[in-house]
Structure 1
Amino acid sequence: MQFARTLQRALLPLATIVAVTLPTISWADTVLPVQVEPVQQTRFASLVKEVGKIKAIDSTTLSFNASEKIQQINFHDGDLVKKGDIIAELNNTKAKLDFTKAKNSLALKQTKLDRLNGLLAKEPYAMSKQDVDEVTESYYIAKADFALKQVQLKDYQIIAPFDGRLTSFNQSIGSHINAGTTLVTLYKLDPVKVKYAIGQEDLAKAQKGQKVEITVEAFAKQNFKGQVSYVAPNVDDQSGRIEIQAVIDNPEHHLAPGMFANIKHYFSRGNLHLTIPQNAVIANNNQRYVWVVANNKAIKRDVTLGKNINNGYVVVTAGLYNNEQVIVSGMQNLSENSLIKILPPQASKAPQQPPKTATPAATSSTQQEQQ
């Protein structure tokens, strides 16, 4: 028994020495794997979202100015035409005869007038003034008749007044058609315009030349761009809103008159803001902080947040700088100055970068959007 107590007293200092010399194992001495994302500088534009309808800038019904049978239709339903193309022609046999007769009559009157002028140059008093006036008047009458017959001959044709696409034809070759009866309609499809309305609260911000982007259901993944061409000077009595029109480029003719369109009307480019993933932010009561990478260590940094973006990012108004790296995964065991190892990008499961369509939450009709 005495021996046991002696042995215990002898081993106690040794145990103390071992306890002191053994390293203390803690997370601070462990290299912790983390995933990071850079602080980004993002521009948010002021915009309003509306729904509108596609309209043709130019459209017209095409008809003949004469009554006859249709002799020729040179295009098919839905064809594209160029300005000046002859779309259709009537039987113009009689009109051609009248034109030829007027042309020959003018040539004859021209010859008589030329002879008279030649004679008067040699003998100024060879003919009376009345005879000279009659020949001259006869020439001008023939000239006017020729011009009239020339115009009337074109009444038997339909000529495209601008580039565009035809609708279906209402008549066929051989049909008798009266003057003024619509044969086909022509739409100009590039550019087109979109017509919509904005609230009164946005009137002061709307101006001609502002950028507009639209999408349509038929081409949901494609953005069509244009500019505001008209801002109504008045408020509509019934809707209480302001009419807006914008011209939209449509080189492939994907946009058709009558389509509904989702519209983004940009009032301004907006200011630059810093953004980070929402999952990088840690909440502690009213405090918000993130872990920032510095010299392979994790540093705690208090931040002030702005608006959330709908795709998982948040605006930072204070506490961070552009291109700093914030930890987005692996924060559970971090402490101040913890050693860290940054996982390569391919191993990261952090949120995707904010797309250009990300929109912060807004309580008014006017929103902000990342550019």
Structure 2
Amino acid sequence: QLARTDLERSRDLAMKKVVSGAELDSAQSKFTRLNAVVDQMRSNIAKKTIIAPFDGQLGIRQVNVGQMINAGQQVIALTSLDSVYVDFALPEQHVSKLTKDLETQVHLDALPGREFKGKLTAINSNVDPITRNVPLQATLQNPDHMLRPGMFAKVDVMLPETKKAIVIPGSAVSYAPYGDSVFVIEKQKDPQSGKESLVLRQQFVRIGETRGDFVSVTKGLKGGEEIVGTGVFKLRNGMVVTINNDLAPKPELNPNPADT
């Protein structure tokens, strides 16, 4: 700024023939040189200034002032929370029903009682060869920034059509390598005494989807059949039983904690 002022003063005096042309040239040269120095300093500052590419919230700083850093080294995390993505998966048998923009409902253990609605925005083209699930991604609006990266969520996808299914508590299933089974309670009359009693019949079943404490049965059971809901590892085929539901646990669709 001082060099600019000196140059302007020298120009005024040169027009009045008070200073020589050599003095004006010297002031001009000084201004040009200092102006180049300022431009170089601005360029250096610009190279060392990090500008956020989008609006968001900053995390914890990973470096200190004056510290030398390398190319690609993380300085600080910048997160946009206005909308968030939820990664999850569904069994491969639902692939044909999945389309983008299907409604999703998300619940979090960290925010009990709240439901977040979103849309299915990405469907992976490959099926996981181990789990036989399809990786999916939903997008949720997050205006109050309550949802944070890394949170565990339960996601329900609203499929366009529903299918009737037989649903039983998962605790009613006796899982075994040779096949899963349940114990059906049937009335049986004693041929000698004529008295009726409740007898167990072990029925092998095919298990479908699991949701909360419930599992669906795709084969082996009929609607309306009565089964034993818990303690099946103690039972055997043909055992005579009595029904007492006083101490029976109540299965839940959304248990807390999950998978209990």
TM-score (norm 1): 0.33
Bigger relative CO (Cα 8 Å, ≥ 6 apart)? 1
Greater strand share, structure number: 1
User: TM-score under structure 2 normalisation?
Assistant: 0.46
**Larger Rg belongs to:** 1
